[in-house]
Amino acid sequence: MRRIAKTLALSIAAATLGGSAFAADLPSRKEAPPVAYSPPPLFTWTGFYIGLNAGAAIRDNKWGYSGFAPFVPANANNNVGFTGGGQLGYNWQMNSVVFGLETDLNYLSANNASNAAYFFGANNSTGGLLGTARGRLGLALDRWLIYATGGFAYGNAYYNTYYPVAGLPIYYGNSSSGMKVGWTVGGGVEWAIANNWSIKAEYLYTDIRRNSGNFGAAFWNQSAQNHVVRLGVNYHFN
């Protein structure tokens, strides 16, 4: 009897151990741990950038008299030329506000001539190099940047003013050339098409020279401004 009981106890123990081992080999019903996911870093406009630009420039040339000949009407003329060059800058982004500094140097081909009425003279101006050093203030809408800009403008240009003496083909004139300084203001929109690349559309108004002189009691004045519309591409070091 004891032998039977002992044999039965050993059989139960063996069956229990065997079932546990078999259960350990079965696949687990637990879910796999989630894969760690890191969201991409938020885009920022902060950092240095360098780029190229090209577009059109409208030269607005004006010429007129004052003094004893205020009755002589002023004359104005416009001419469209090509402009192209490069820019370099740095942006700081604080929340949605972007502060920036940018300098650019461009070639300007817009030439212009203006003829005053009644044979009282004419003037002309030519293009050359046109550069700016500007501040920028913008609003960042994720990868879009809308900004206003303004600052210092400079360039080399040639200005020539002449008029006939007593209706004869004898001309008295004044010319001015060399580096001119002035100011600029404008704005634009920029879109980051990738983390390191952006494209922009920009408008700048520049005034780099006002020329004046006199012939006896007659005073003449001359001015030339530029309306620059251009597209650009920038590479960002961020």
On the question of pLDDT at 197 being above 60, the answer is yes
Six token digits for residue 198:
């952006």
Domain 47-237 has CATH 2.40.160.20: yes
Domain boundary assignment for the chain = 47-237
- Beta-strand ranges (E) seen in the chain are 47-67, 75-94, 97-108, 112-115, 122-126, 128-141, 144-165, 168-194, 197-215, 218-237
Q: pLDDT digits over 87-106, tens only?
A: 999 999 999 999 999 999 99
* Averaged pLDDT, 108-127: 60
Pairing mode, strands 75-94 and 47-67: antiparallel
Question: Mean pLDDT over all residues of the chain?
Answer: 76
Tell me what pLDDT residue 198 has.
Answer: 97
Q: pLDDT digits over 67-84, tens only?
A: 545 555 556 667 788 999
Evaluate whether 108 touches 81 at the Cβ level (below 8 Å): yes
Which range has the worst mean pLDDT, 22-31, 81-90, 122-131, 188-197?
22-31
Overall pTM > 0.75 = no
Q: Of 172, 152, 160, nearest to 224 (Cα)?
A: 160
Cβ count near 97 (within 10 Å): 11
